[in-house]
Structures are given as C-alpha cells and as structure tokens.
Structure 1
Amino acid sequence: MCKWTPPVLRLRPDLVLDAVPSAGRFLPGATSFCVACFTLLLVAGTVLGECPLGGQGGPGHETLPGLAGGTNCSWTLERHTRSYNHLEGDVRLRRLYSANKFFLCIDKTGKVDGTRRKNYADSLMEIRSVSVGVVAIKSVSTALYLAMSKRGTLFGSVKYSSNCKFKERIEENGYNTYASLRWKHGGRQMFVSLNGRGKPRRGHKARRRHPSTHFLPMLPS
C-alpha cells in the first residue's frame, strides 16, 4: 500500500508580507510596546521644544547629542561624582589639635609652636585648599603662613610660596597629616609634627603613622 503524505506548502517571505495587512504584520509584544512609548515621548519633546528625558545638563551630568535631527534636545545622564573634601578655593577656619594634645600655633615672630590653651588667638588657622588635596595654612591673628624649609624646619612665612604648600591626608584613625609638597628627605615625605612637649620636630624625623604628625582640625568655639 502507498502512504499518502500531505504536500508541504512553501511560501516566499515577500509574498507572505504582501498577503498580511500592514497593521497586523507585527504582534504588539512587550518590546514593540516599549519602542512605541519611547517614540511618543521623543515626538512630544520635539513638538514642545523640550527634552523628553528631562532637563538641561548641569554639574554632574553628561550631555549627549539629541537623536532627533533638527532639534535641540539633549539627554542628561546622572553621574555619581566622587566626593572630594578638598576642592580648590575651599577655606576653613580650624584649630589643628595634635594627637599629643597641643594646638599648633604661629606667633608674630614666625615661631611655630604648640599650646594647650584652647582659645589661644595664634592657634586659629585659615586652611585654604590651593588644589585638590593640597592646602595652605595661615594664622588668622599673625597673618603668617605655615612653611617648611628644605631641612624640614617649620616657620612662619610672610609671603606665600611653594614652601607653604602641604598635602593634606585623612588617615585611618580620623586624624589629618600634613606633608610638604615641595620638599622630601631621601625620597621620603616630611611631615608637620609636634613632639610630646609641644615643640616642632624636623620633618625628616617624623613618620606618617607617628602620633606627633596627626592633627584633628577642630571648629573654633
């Protein structure tokens, strides 16, 4: 006996598309629905002269060219900018309290010392950020800048110079360290430091992890 096999209908894609009405060629799936919504938003923004996804670019935004030709629309992408504590031009009034329990001060003769007097006038400092992570420290009462010489000696300077720039770093214990930006000793950084008697130490004798180099910037009371 012969087994009958139904014929297979082979259709050409172009004939199928021509046979199906244009409105029903594509099923309204989730993807096409999202595309349709986006298109409506883009058209609405073009007509109103505004960006459909909101707003003009500003700080912390990246502006991308509009997709629609002949429009001024732009997209803005929120960017999680890294927060810096030391921005150029930032000015803080602080008293630098060392881990050895002394306040850093600069007297009118330019002598750098430590005092236990909390509200001593010469200990109030203006800490100004000159670049990211780099500060200049100036006594408010004497108007002298904290400076470090090539030999690591601290002194008060009438004029601001490269000797007055210090790298400010927040350590793991919450205290700050201040290292000379200009000078190093044997390739190692030299730090602002007050010993256990409140006297300044030579920069090359101080180490980052030593308590004598740790200062807590305190708000004036």
Structure 2
Amino acid sequence: ACRHTHTHTHTHTPSLPSPSLCLACFSLLLVTAGTAPGACPPGAGREPLQVHARSYNHLEGDVRLRRLYSANKFFLCIDKTGKVDGTRRKNYADSLMEIRSVSVGVVAIKSVSTGLYLAMSKKGTLFGSVKYNPSCKFKERIEENGYNTYASLRWKHSGRQMFVSLNGRGKPRRGHKARRRHPSTHFLPMLPS
C-alpha cells in the first residue's frame, strides 16, 4: 500500500499547462516519464507531470515567422505564381512563412514575400492561394521525433488524412500519397536567421 501521512498539507494533482505557456517551456514538457494515473511513483512522494500533447496549444491569432525545413533537407516555399516547391537555399525569401494559429492545433501558413497562403486541393495538390479559405487550414501536430506534420483540415482521401509533403527531390507529393510516419511529411519550424 502506498499511503503517505502528512500534517497540514494536501495532495496537489498536477494540471496541464495553460494554452498561453510559451512554446519553449511547453516543448520541454513533451518528453515526460509516464506512470499510470493513481499509481504509486517508485520511491518518490510526488508523481511526475504527465503531458501527452500532440499539437501546439496556441492561442487563436498567435503568429510565428518560421521556415519549414523538411526531414528531406528542403525548405518549403511558395513563389509568386502560386507554385509550391522545396529549396536548399537557407535564406530564400519565398521560404519565410507566417504560421498563424486559427484555432487550437490548426494553422494557416502564408509566404511572407508573396502573400500567398499554402492550400491543398481536393485531389491533394499543394498550391499558393491568394485568398484565405477552408483549403488553407492545416492540422499541426508534433510527432514523436520532434518534427511537425501538417494535414489538410478540409480534405481527406478515402477517409485518410492528406499531408503537406516534399519528396527527395524537393517536389511536392500529392497529399494522399504521403503518410504521417514518412520523412517527406516531417517539418521543423525553424526561426529565421
């Protein structure tokens, strides 16, 4: 039995961090040891904080300037014609993105230089859209390896999510051909240097 007797104290159950917790602090909490709820922690009087977060708890309207760097070593970019591509050039103007939180875990991605929004068509094709619309909403999720995936909020293919993806040559893959665990769908939001 695991019973602790304390005088003038009460047990405090840790709560999840508030949505306004800064990204840096929040990312430190992602890797935590998990114990079953209510179980006695081994040799300690306190249970570790449990956080099973798979999306950023950004406040609506939060804006980040980032370059989306793929696990395939390309920066996602949108040119002025609306073509979505990957580039190896580190400070390429068309790769600087404004990532705006539109609801919890859902973002809109806009090229700062061209003003075009990243969008996905019903067929899973990526393109730059002049106007912000439901095709420009993506579910942002932190994967186990620390990279992010971006899945279309509006469109699915045979019930499966369609992901933003760049292949090994830096070309966009159709959303239905990409899978969550595939490196082509994994991006690191990097601070502009």
Structure 1 residues not aligned, in runs of 5+: 1-33, 35-78
Question: Do structure 1's residue 103 and structure 2's residue 75 form an aligned pair?
Answer: yes
Specify the structure having the higher radius of gyration (Cα).
1
Amino acid at match of 2:146: G
Higher helix proportion (structure 1 or 2): 1
Question: Do structure 1's residue 153 and structure 2's residue 125 form an aligned pair?
Answer: yes
Aligned to 1:198: 170
Work out the number of aligned pairs and report it.
147
Selected match of 2:93 from 121, 127, 131: 121
Give how far 1:87 is off: 2.0
- Aligned mates of 2:115, 2:170 — CA distance in 1: 21
CA contact (8 A) 1:190 1:204 kept: yes
CA contact (8 A) 1:87 1:133 kept: no
- Aligned mates of 2:89, 2:188 — CA distance in 1: 15
Selected match of 1:182 from 138, 154, 169: 154
Structure 1 residues 172-215: Cα deviation after superposition (integer angstroms, max 9, x where no partner): 00000000000000000000000000000000000000000000
Give how far 1:88 is off: 0.9
- Aligned mates of 1:90, 1:159 — CA distance in 2: 19
Amino acid at match of 1:115: T
Aligned to 1:164: 136
Give how far 1:82 is off: 3.1
Q: Which protein, 1 or 2, shows the higher relative CO under an 8 Å CA cutoff with sep ≥ 6? A: 2
**Secondary structure class of the residue paired with 2:61:** coil
Amino acid at match of 1:208: R
> What TM-score do the two structures reach when normalised by structure 2?
0.73
Amino acid at match of 1:212: S
- Aligned mates of 1:196, 1:186 — CA distance in 2: 25
Give how far 1:83 is off: 3.9
- Aligned mates of 1:189, 1:154 — CA distance in 2: 14
- Aligned mates of 2:16, 2:158 — CA distance in 1: 37
